[in-house]
Amino acid sequence: MQAPVESTVENNHGVSSRGLIASVVSDAQRLVALEIALAKQELKELAMANAIALAIMVFGVALAMLGLLVAVPALVVVLVPWHWQAAAVWVAAYLLIGLALVLVGKARLQVRLPTRTLESLKENKEWALRRVRSNGR
């Protein structure tokens, strides 16, 4: 009679272990799906911020080019007395605004890894390891 009782205990233990393993696998799959969603969202936000920064830089370069285009007629105006001051002011203004926009865009540009996703992955790894260790007892 002793043998059937041990067999039943082993079967229950085996079933519960399989259930726990299935639960861990299911939770891990859900975590992976959530991590992928978080990474997509974070990369989307980063791409949007970088697109804005690049647009600012492009606008700054366009203004700098416009400044150069104003400089050519300004050289002609230099030959005419009394008008070169106005041309120089416009060239300087365009160049300064263009340079400022390029610098602002460069400062806003971000090339980095998605930090929230990496932190979440570390936490999930620790959670999974703790869960596997506690189920192994």
Summarised one tens digit per residue, pLDDT across range 25-58 is 898 899 889 999 999 999 999 999 999 999 999 9
How many percent of the chain have pLDDT more than 70? 79
pLDDT computed for residue 7 by the predictor:
46
79 versus 88: which is more confidently predicted? 88
Q: Please calculate the CA angle 87-91-95 and round it to the nearest 5 degrees.
A: 170
Q: In the predicted model, is pLDDT for residue 10 greater than 50?
A: no
Instruction: Judge whether residue 13 has pLDDT over 80.
Output: no
pLDDT digits (tens, 9 = 90+) for 54-75: 999 999 999 998 888 777 667 6
- Binned at pLDDT 50, 70 and 90, residue 6 comes out as very low
Question: How far is the C-alpha of 90 from the C-alpha of 71, rounded, in Å?
Answer: 9
- How confident is the model over 120-130, as pLDDT tens digits? 888 888 888 88
* Residue linked to tokens 């992976």: 32
Percent of the chain topping pLDDT 90: 32
Spell 5-33 as b/e; 16+ CB within 10 A means b. Answer: eeeeeeeeeeeeeeeeeeeeeeeeeebee
Amino acid 83: pLDDT: 74
